[in-house]
Amino acid sequence: SSQTATEATSIEDEDVMDLDKEETTTTKEDEAQDSKDTTEKAEEEVKSESSTTSSSSAAEQPQDDNKDTSKTTKEGGGKTQSETEKAAQTGPFVDLFGPSLLSLQMVGSRQAKMSSGHTNDVLRGKKVVGVYFSADWCGPCRQFTPQLVSFYEKMNARRGRKDEFEIVWVSRCRDVESYQQYFTHMKGFKAMPPQLAMGQMGKALSDKYRVQGIPTLVLLDEAGNVITKDARNKIPKDSNGIGFPWRNPLVQVYMTVLPKTVRYMIKSQVFSLREQVVSKLKTIVGLKQQTQTATS
């Protein structure tokens, strides 16, 4: 009897689903028939398709309103979804490297799997970020990369500072195939996507840090400020990383003693002061030019 009851329940559920489908189908057929009758009547009385076009436009308007409303629906904290997504895609490292970084995981001994992660997520919690300019065709790069891999693993295994150091490879390879092959030697490193690294964004980074040759390793702090541009020459001299990340002694005191919030405040004030000085200098130069023009 329990099996019969179960079968009955199943049949009833199926009947409900079928009825819902039939009801929906019937409604759609009725709406279609009503629309057809209305259209035929309009064609007979007006002999024009303009009314049909107008009614179609009017019927589509509520959908547009709903779309606009969904875009402006607010999430928690009083921010719209688009604002939240935009906030997640900004920051000093996003400006430098773009919205995503690649990583490579070895699958077996001869195969590798490439994955992508958001830049801010990948670099979250990193105290030092290395920007590594290197290419497969560069002999010194091929010699230095294994040293850098060993140093990277050593620094990230330190007690109390585990996984605080990350390296982002900025490829100077000449094509994607070379990029993919050389990336397999960057054990654990992250990388800018090839189209960005070998394009204008990679060139802009090279110009920003005044890269004269490769390999070059620039170290940044967690806010994207430069610690040193000469890490490539410091690693062979300090392979155990005793002085890593080789800050200027005054900078070391500054970073150790002052809280991060105070450092950010000082940085913003210095930037504001610099802008004021530049503005005043421009004003003075402009006045001198006006005086010279009036005199002549």
Query: Are 124 and 230 members of one domain?
Result: yes
Q: Per the domain annotation, does 1 fall within a domain?
A: no
Same domain, residue pair 122 and 238: yes
In this prediction, residue 278 carries a pLDDT of 86
In this prediction, residue 139 carries a pLDDT of 97
Q: Look at residue 142 and tell me whether its pLDDT is greater than 50.
A: yes
Per-residue pLDDT at 72: 41
Residue 209 sits in the same domain as residue 261: no
Tokens of 134: 């290197």
Distance CA 103, CA 223 (A): 22
pLDDT of residue 33: 52
Residues 229, 109, single domain; the answer is yes
User: With b meaning 16 or more CB within 10 Å and e meaning fewer, what string describes 53-89?
Assistant: eeeeeeeeeeeeeeeeeeeeeeeeeeeeeeeeeeeee
The encoded tokens of residue 144 equal: 């230095």
The total of structural domains in the chain comes to 2
| pLDDT in the model for residue 88 | 58
Report if residue 71 sits inside a domain. no
Q: Which whole number is the average pLDDT over 86-110?
A: 85
Is residue 247 very low, low, confident or very high in pLDDT (cuts 50, 70, 90)?
confident
| Same domain membership, residue 262 and residue 241 | no
For residues 6-11, give the mean pLDDT: 38
Q: Are residues 119 and 234 in the same domain?
A: yes
Same domain, 233 and 112: yes
**Dist. CA 274–CA 270, nearest whole Å:** 6
- What order do you get walking across the sheet with 165-171 strand by strand? 111-118, 100-107, 190-191, 165-171, 128-134, 216-221, 226-228
- For residues 132 and 262, state if they share a domain: no
Decide which of 202, 230, 246 is a domain's last residue: 246
Question: DSSP assignment of 243-287, as one string?
Answer: STT---HHHHHHHHHS-HHHHHHHHHHHHHHHHHHHHHHHHHHHH
Angle between the 50-71 and 2-46 helix axes, to the nearest 10 degrees? 130
Per-residue pLDDT reduced to its tens digit, 203-232: 999 999 999 999 999 999 999 999 999 999
Domain for residue 194, yes or no? yes
Same domain flag for 205 and 268: no
Do 186 and 268 lie in one domain? The reply is no
More confident residue, 149 or 29: 149
Residue 72 domain flag:
no
Confidence of residue 238 (pLDDT cuts 50, 70, 90): very high
Cα distance between residue 122 and residue 97, in whole Å: 12
Q: Is the pLDDT of residue 54 over 60?
A: no
Examine residue 220 and state whether it is found in any structural domain, yes or no: yes
- Please write the tens of the pLDDT for every residue from 152-206: 999 999 888 888 999 999 999 999 999 999 999 999 999 999 999 999 999 999 9
Are residues 238 and 145 part of one domain? Answer: yes
More confident call, 57 vs 290: 290
Q: What is the domain range of residue 278?
A: 248-282
* Domain at 159, CATH number: 3.40.30.10
Tell me the CA distances in angstroms from 234 to 127, 150, 219, 228, 246, one per residue in order. Answer: 18, 14, 11, 10, 8
Q: Please give the pLDDT value at position 286.
A: 86
Name residues whose C-beta falls within 8 Å of residue 102's C-beta, 6 or more positions apart in sequence: 114, 115, 116, 183, 190, 191, 192, 193
* Mean pLDDT across 233-248: 91
Interstrand relation of 128-134 and 111-118 (parallel, antiparallel or unpaired) = unpaired
221 occurs within a structural domain: yes
Report pLDDT for 70: 40
